[in-house]
Amino acid sequence: MQPEHPVTDPSQAAAAGRLAPGAFEALFESVNRSDAPGLVVGVSHRGRVLFRRGYGMACVALGVSNTPATRMRIGSTTKHFTCLAALLLAEDGLLDIDAPVRDHLPELPDLGADPTLRQLMTHTSGVRCYLDLHLLAGGLAVRPVGDVLRNQLRQSSLNFAPGEDILYCNGGYQLLSEVIARTAGMAFERVLRERIFEPMGMHDTESLPDDLTLHRGLATLHLPRPGGGYERGIFPTRETRGEGAMVSTVDDMLKWLAHLRRPTVVGSASTWRQMLQTTRLRNGLPIPYALGLMRHDHRGVEVVHHAGGVIGGCSQMLTVPAHELDIVMMLNGAPLNPMDLAYRIIERVLGPEVLGPEGRKVPAERFRPLVGARYRDRASRMVIEFSDQAGQLALTACNLMPVPLHDTGESIRLGFEDMAAMPIECATTDLPAAGDAAPESLAVKLGGNLRLLDKLPEPPPPNRIAGVALAGRYRSADLAVDAEVTLDGETLTMRVQGDAPAVRYQLQALDADVFAWEMLDLPGPPMKGLLDVHREGGAVRGFHLQTSRTRQLWFARLGGAGRDNG
């Protein structure tokens, strides 16, 4: 940890009054209990640890409490460590991160465009997310070792041409991990240990590829059961790597954040400039994602951070570099949002002396005609929906969770930092005011590209009519599964079966050719997405599945093609 700095600005003196003992406890009071999972949290300001505590249980079954020494999974916070490992190999002259991925993994299929290693790091590669493919084909069934790469080798297309869009992708980091291991001539886990953890003195940090093996001091991940109680959270693979395999402690991560702000032990100045350089899409749109790190403004100060999510837990690592404020939270099932909590800690520590006004949200009443309206982009098959969330106008993309929109004055928007997908923006001059009708088409910028989206019907057609043509049997070569869609009155379901246990989906018509779906029988929040029907001559020839991280996954119809009645 860095030595404590003298007081050099009035904000630190003002903060002292706000940071009396007990100032942070109220943020975590709801999980300060002995019958539920919790979290560990650490806060450091100018080299001085302000707060360091565990809440709730590390293991409900054994009655073991969380403490600052508890090790927890940090999920996707791993990603910038993976990028750093690749850049360290580049320092050694062993790797060019602007080289095509297939230069290092020649067995990958030629899909007409070769993404670079850097594009894997910035989520602009177009590679599909292996975790999505796992879940779509087999739910949370733990897949055998080797299945991740086999899935990538089966893919017949990219989500998009490299550099043209951005879509969060664990699959890209899996491929990057394999490149690192092959280039270094050792296991990926050993590369992180020898090149980063050991030099940094992060003795309680390591990369663990699965949730089935028992490890010292590691908290259990907890998923709530609908009827009460918990079940163990287990990631559906035994080969988690650079996309999210690390476990750590708050002390190790606070040490790391101090180094990230002033790197002196690991990585050259050139390496760290690249680590923190945000990206641009091919059309010039700036994206606040660097190499495994997010950088953007929050109330007038820059924050650098990365969250992580695992099955039964999540994390947040954040620093405010200009004020040397570092925050680490690792949760093993507590029902809290660590990003929201991190922002509240920033506000508590820095206060109004430093922070600007809060960002403006969009009152739902301002654009009331949009509430409940759905629009579809035929080119990308994206569907967006507007809703009223506690008086704020929110947007849902691809049938996911609604996210409140930001008001920039000239537009309403969601950025990559809000939903880890392409930025979405609408000019306020193109939106209907209260009292008007929702327009039949809407001009929307998707990833910086202006598109005209068509309004879907209100109300949507009933399943008993729209589902007739869709019912039948299908095959997806990219997933290596068969699917059967069945219609029973208004109930439209799909059963997907490969070499893992079958997965069931519930479908709901949004249009004659567009269906929302969610996965059934899984613990935790359901996986959701869209199904887009493909017709030839009026007959259904197949459909594409869309998720937040996978586009146009093709299912071909088997046997006779279905037609609409009448």
Task: Please give the CATH architecture assigned to the domain spanning 1-76+203-358.
Answer: 3-Layer(aba) Sandwich (3.40)
Average pLDDT of the residues in 62-85: 97
Pairing outcome for strands 491-497 and 503-509: antiparallel
77 by DSSP, 3-state: which?
A: helix
Judge residue 210's burial from the number of C-beta atoms within 10 Å of its C-beta, 0-12 exposed, 13-18 middle, 19 or more buried.
middle
Residue 322 to residues 7, 316, 317, 408, 538: CA-CA distances in angstroms?
14, 19, 16, 25, 60
What percentage of the chain carries pLDDT values higher than 90? 89
> Computed from CA positions of residues 177, 182, 187, 190, in that sequence, does the dihedral angle turn out positive or negative?
negative
Give the separation between CA 217 and CA 210, rounded to whole angstroms: 15
**How crowded is the C-beta side of 89, counted as CA atoms within 13 Å?**
25
Residue 453's identity, in one-letter code, is L
Angle at 317 between CA 315 and CA 320, to 5 degrees: 150
Give the separation between CA 507 and CA 519, rounded to whole angstroms: 9
Q: Can you name the residues that pair with 353 across neighbouring β-strands?
A: none
Give the separation between CA 170 and CA 328, rounded to whole angstroms: 22
Supply 520's token pair.
């059934």
Whether 1 has a pLDDT exceeding 50, the answer reads no
> What are the residue ranges spanned by the domains of the chain?
1-76+203-358, 364-455, 463-558
* All residues at 6 or more sequence positions from 140 whose CB lies less than 8 Å from its CB, including other chains: 234, 236, 311, 522, 523
Give the separation between CA 430 and CA 20, rounded to whole angstroms: 49
Could you tell me how many residues make up the chain?
A: 566
* DSSP type of residue 249: -
Q: Tell me which residue of 325, 233, 250 sits closest to 37, measured CA to CA.
A: 233
318 by DSSP, 3-state: which?
A: strand
Pairing outcome for strands 64-65 and 481-488: unpaired
Give the separation between CA 103 and CA 116, rounded to whole angstroms: 9
Average pLDDT of the residues in 433-451: 92
Supply 238's token pair.
């035994």
148 by DSSP, 3-state: which?
A: helix
Backbone φ and ψ of 56, nearest 5°? 70, -165
Residue 39: what pLDDT? 98
What average pLDDT does the structure give for the chain?
93
Residue 107: what pLDDT? 96
Average pLDDT of the residues in 197-223: 96
Residue 419: what pLDDT? 87
What percentage of the chain carries pLDDT values higher than 70? 95
Q: What is the pLDDT of residues 16-44, one digit of tens each?
A: 656 765 778 999 999 999 999 999 999 99
> Computed from CA positions of residues 291, 122, 74, 68, in that sequence, does the dihedral angle turn out positive or negative?
positive
- State the helix-helix crossing angle for 170-184 and 147-154, rounded to 10 degrees: 110
Give the separation between CA 481 and CA 74, rounded to whole angstroms: 32
Q: What CATH topology corresponds to 463-558?
A: Lipocalin (2.40.128)
Q: What is the pLDDT of residues 288-325, one digit of tens each?
A: 999 999 999 999 999 999 999 999 999 999 999 999 99
Judge residue 340's burial from the number of C-beta atoms within 10 Å of its C-beta, 0-12 exposed, 13-18 middle, 19 or more buried.
exposed
**Strand ranges (E), 97-256:** 206-207, 222-224, 230-232, 246-248
pLDDT-based confidence at 13, cuts 50/70/90?
A: low
